[in-house]
Amino acid sequence: TTLIALPEGVTDGDVQSVLQALLDRHDMLRSKLYSDPTGHRLVTREIGSVSGADIIETVVVGEDPGRAVEDAARIAAGRIDPEAGAMMAAVRLQNPVGGDVLLLAIHHLATDAV
């Protein structure tokens, strides 16, 4: 999990486009975990099979930015599910009084397997 400061004026569409490029470029982010009695296997799905728009959620930062980051981390962790093919989740933290931040979380299978 990491936090990325977003430049002023970045739209949701901009963020979705960048996430889509990341998903399309890195095979492990499109992988899906299959399990059966003989074991586990990761299968890489085709480019475009995972949508950048589907992996992002937006929350508005309230009076406690630290709490907002903790909540965003929980949201992202809850959306990651290797057996459903969800190896990455993103939460945009919209801050009305400061810059927006993107919390990006990637399952360890997608990073450690590389």
CATH of the domain at 8: 3.30.559.10
Amino acid at 105: A
Dig out the tokens for 111 from the structure: 């990073």
Return the beta strands (E) in the chain as ranges.
2-5, 31-36, 39-44, 56-60, 88-94, 101-106
The domain in which residue 24 lies consists of 2-112
pLDDT digits (tens, 9 = 90+) for 52-111: 999 999 999 888 888 899 999 999 999 999 999 999 999 999 988 888 999 999 999 888
- What's the domain count of the chain? 1
CA-nearest of 62, 58, 55, 64 to 85 is: 55
Task: State whether residue 23 is helix, strand or coil.
Answer: helix
- Over residues 17-66, the pLDDT tens digits come to 999 999 999 999 999 999 999 999 999 999 999 999 999 999 998 888 88
